[in-house]
C-alpha cells in the first residue's frame, strides 16, 4: 500500500481524479492519507472531506518564516505516514530543505508539455494563454518529480492535447485537464506504487 499526501490550493479536480481512480479500483494499493491546502477556502478540502479523507489547511500566513511553515508541513506529512507527496495545483513554492528532505518522493502535475510553457510565473491560465499566444498546435500535460528548480525535475509521463482554432485559455485549460491531467496523474501514481519508476541521471525509466 502506497500512502500519499496531496497538496492543493484550489478546486482540486486533479485530487478528484485520484480519489475516483482509487474508488473505482483503477488505482489499487494506494491510499490518500492526508490532503493539505494553504488556503482555507480551497474547494479541494471539501472534496477530500466528502470522501472521508483527513483534510486541513496549513497557511503560510500563520508562520513568521518559510522554514517554520515547511517544518510544520513536513512534520504533518510524516505523521500521516506518507510515502509520496502529490502536488495537485499547490501554489506555494517549496523550500529547498523540504525538497531535499523528500527528494524522489514528490511529484507535480503541470498543464503543458515541459519544457514548453513552464518555470517561474507559468501557472494556471497563464500557461494556456502563452501556448495560444505562441501559436503552438499541440500542448498537453506533464507529471514530473520535483527537484530544487521550478518544473525542472525528471519527467514521468506526458500526454499531448491538440489545440483548436477557436480555443480560449479557458477552453484549452478544460480540455488539457480532461484529456491529459486527470489521466496521467493517477497513472503516474499507479506506476510509482508498483515500484516501476526509476530515476537515473535526471531522467526516469519505467520498467
The residues that are catalytic are 110
Q: How far is the CB of 10 from ligand GRF (least distance, A)?
A: 4
157 Cβ neighbours under 8 A, 6+ residues apart: 142, 143, 184, 187, 188, 191
Which of 4, 5, 7, 10 touches ligand GRF by CB under 6 A? 10
3-class DSSP assignment, residue 76: helix
DSSP 24-75: TTSS-SEEEEEEEES-TT-HHHHHHHHTT--EEE--GGGSSSHHHHHHHHHH
153 binds ligand GRF per the rule CB under 6 A: no
| Interacting positions 22-61 with ligand GRF (CB under 6 A) | 44
Candidates 11-19, 75-83, 93-101, 159-167: pick the segment binding ligand GRF (CB under 6 A): 11-19
Scan residues 165-184 and list those touching ligand GRF (CB under 6 A): 181
Specify whether the backbone of 81 is left (phi greater than 0), alpha (psi in -120 to 50) or beta: left
Assess 151 for contact with ligand GRF (CB under 6 A): no
Which residue's CB comes closest to ligand GRF?
89
Complex with ligand GRF: residue 10 or 154, whichever CB lies closer: 10
Question: How many CA atoms, within 13 angstroms, populate the side-chain half-sphere of residue 39?
Answer: 14
Buried b (16+ CB within 10 A) or exposed e, 136-154: eeebbbbbbbbbeebbbbb
Q: Which of 8-16, 22-30, 56-64, 98-106 is the region at the interface with ligand GRF (rule: CB under 6 A)?
A: 8-16
**Nearer Cβ to ligand GRF (14/139):** 14
Rounded to the nearest angstrom, the gap between the alpha carbon of residue 20 and the centroid of all alpha carbons in its chain is 16
**Within 91-150, which residues bind ligand GRF (CB under 6 A)?**
109-111
Question: Taking a C-beta distance cutoff of 8 angstroms, is the pair 88, 19 a contact?
Answer: no
Binding ligand GRF (rule: CB under 6 A), the pick from 18, 36, 45, 89 is 89
Q: Residues in the site for ligand GRF, rule: CB under 6 A? A: 8, 10-14, 44, 88-89, 109-111, 181
Amino acid at each position: 500500500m502506497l500512502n500519499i499526501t496531496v497538496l492543493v490550493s484550489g478546486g482540486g479536480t486533479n485530487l478528484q481524479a485520484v480519489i475516483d481512480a482509487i474508488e473505482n479500483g483503477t488505482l489499487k494499493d494506494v491510499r490518500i492519507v492526508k490532503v493539505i491546502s494553504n488556503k482555507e477556502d480551497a474547494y479541494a478540502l471539501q472534496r477530500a472531506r466528502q470522501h472521508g479523507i483527513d483534510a486541513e489547511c496549513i497557511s503560510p500566513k500563520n508562520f513568521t518564516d518559510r522554514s517554520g511553515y515547511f517544518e510544520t508541513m513536513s512534520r504533518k506529512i510524516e505523521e500521516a505516514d506518507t510515502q509520496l507527496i502529490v502536488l495537485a495545483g499547490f501554489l506555494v513554492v517549496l523550500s529547498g530543505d523540504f525538497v531535499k528532505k523528500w527528494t524522489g518522493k514528490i511529484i507535480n502535475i503541470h498543464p503543458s508539455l515541459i519544457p514548453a510553457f513552464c518555470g517561474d510565473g507559468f501557472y494556471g491560465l497563464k500557461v494556456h494563454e502563452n501556448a495560444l499566444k505562441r501559436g503552438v498546435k499541440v500542448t498537453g500535460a506533464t507529471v514530473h518529480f520535483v527537484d530544487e528548480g521550478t518544473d525542472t525535475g525528471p519527467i514521468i509521463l506526458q500526454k499531448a492535447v491538440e489545440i483548436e482554432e477557436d480555443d480560449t485559455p479557458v477552453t484549452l485549460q478544460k480540455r488539457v485537464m480532461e484529456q491529459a491531467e486527470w489521466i496521467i496523474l493517477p497513472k503516474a501514481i499507479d506506476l510509482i506504487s508498483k515500484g516501476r519508476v526509476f530515476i537515473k541521471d535526471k531522467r526516469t525509466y519505467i520498467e
